[in-house]
Amino acid sequence: MQTVTRIVAIRHGETAWNVDTRIQGHLDIPLNATGRWQASRMAEALADEGISAVYSSDLSRALETAEALCTVLGLDVVTDNRLRERAFGAFEALTFTEIESRWPAEARRWTQREPEFAPDGGESLNDFYARCVRAVHQIAEAHPGQTIAVVAHGGVMDCLYRAATRLDLQARRSWTLGNASINRLLHTGEGLTLVGWSDTRHLEDAALDETADGGTMHLPRT
């Protein structure tokens, strides 16, 4: 019988750049007031989940979200830079409109999700996927039979969804990735399995959905 690790995967709370639809990548943008409120609500919702360890990207928007959960659970957060968002290099700090205006050919390759394409100074989709999925596998393997939380970014959540559903990297996304949303997966020796996705019932106001590696849209109240 295979040992199962339950993973509660959480996207960080809202930032000012989420609202402005600016690409954050590896830039360290903190939560805004809404994001801090979302993190608090998420933490309350997970207080009785039996979580035994909390892992987080070391970028402050994820780390602050994870710390809200750890405060409720009485745990210390473990940071892992392999859980960072995709590195977007020259695209970082820009909106899609600005990127498309400066580099139309590169913007087209990005939106078409070419796996080998990397912005200048950034990371390819293939490399990003391999990095964060491998990290989550290794983290889960260290906690057999336990429930753990992984707090990271929209791009990381997207990779975990694809890994759990065996979906191609170039497939268009039809699932949501709201700020402070709660996603549930199982990990066994055979890999990841999807249990539940984008639970935002703990949030009373709209969350922001990451539409394509940085672009956002408002979700209705849930």
Q: Is 12 a catalytic residue?
A: yes
Give the side-chain half-sphere CA count within 13 A for 204.
4
* pLDDT at residue 211 in the model: 41
* pLDDT at residue 204 in the model: 75
pLDDT tens per residue across span 178-207: 999 999 999 999 999 999 999 999 997 555
CATH of the domain at 51: 3.40.50.1240
pLDDT surpasses 90 at 212: no
pLDDT tens per residue across span 132-181: 999 999 999 999 999 999 999 999 999 999 999 999 999 999 998 999 99
| pTM of structure | 0.91
* pLDDT at residue 1 in the model: 64
Domain that holds residue 163: 5-218
Among the listed residues 67, 85, 92, 123, the single catalytic one is 85
For the chain, the domain total comes to 1
Q: Is 85 a catalytic residue?
A: yes
